Amino acid sequence: MARHWWKALAILLLIYVIIAGFTVKIPIIGTNGQSSRGLFFHVPMWICMYTMFTISIVNSLLYLSKYDLKKDVIAASAANVGTFFGVLGFSTGTLWATYTWGGTLTDDPKQMCTAIAILIYMAYLVLRMSIHDLDKRARISAVFNIFAFALLIPLTYIIPRMVDSLHPGSATTPGFASKDTDGTMKMVLYPAFIGWTLLSVWIFSLVVRYKKLQLKNIFK
């Protein structure tokens, strides 16, 4: 049981974040009003997504250097979980936009670029399902994963900061400053980063275990 302490920590942190996220008193930031509570859920989803996609690309590169199918399983599992949290991040973002931008889905560059990035990773998952030969699937998907990750950072971080956007952190809309997130918000936000990230790692470990069970004859 001692080795599972981090799972208990994840549960406790998320219970705290969910309760405090909806009840703690927060400062009014611009036109966000009470919707700023989305910060406790929206931003951590992206942290989880980037973490999983980083694990995925690292293991794809390791596969191409060693041709170890276990690395391919880890890469695919991380991509699955990363895509899941990417969808959650996009969904919470569109919900937030409904209250601050006046529309759920807009032609905002940040929204559009993020949607494209997530669709690219969905294409990666579809590609894997379309190839039945394990070695061929691993090689092709590893190369595609490199392509997907190479586009991820420009699409979700660089381009939105270079163009006009309603999203905080763009060329015309400043991001939240430290003075905007007071001590009370930080007492919820930082545990949220840790709790959601631990949850993503927990889900990732379960997906890896499941995929290895599917291929147990190979991984004897």
- Please give the pLDDT value at position 15: 96
Average pLDDT value for the chain: 85
Is 132 part of any domain?
A: yes
Tell whether 122 is covered by a domain: yes
Measure CA 207 to chain center.
16
Residue 31 domain flag: no
Decide if 160 is inside a domain: yes
Q: Is residue 22 part of a domain?
A: no
Least confident of 45-59, 99-113, 194-208: 99-113
| The pLDDT of residue 168 | 62
Per-residue model confidence as pLDDT tens digits over 154-177 = 998 888 777 766 666 554 455 555
Question: Is the predicted pLDDT of residue 142 greater than 50, yes or no?
Answer: yes
Please, are residues 83 and 92 in contact by the beta-carbon 8 Å criterion? Answer: no
Is 20 within the bounds of a domain? no
Name the range with the highest mean pLDDT among 29-33, 44-48, 102-106: 44-48
* pLDDT surpasses 70 at 12: yes
Q: b/e string for 92-117 if b means 16 or more Cβ within 10 A?
A: bbbebbeebbeeeebebbbbbbbeeb
Instruction: Enumerate residues 6+ apart whose C-beta is below 8 A from 139.
Output: 64
Residue 30 domain-assigned? no
- pLDDT of 130 > 70? The answer is yes
Report d(CA 93, CA 113) in Å as an integer.
13
Domain holding 209, by residue range, is 36-214
The domain total for the chain is 1
Q: Which pTM does this prediction carry?
A: 0.87
Mean pLDDT of 48-63: 97
Q: Is residue 23 situated within a structural domain?
A: no
Predicted local distance difference test score (pLDDT) of residue 203: 97
Q: What is the pLDDT of residue 191?
A: 93
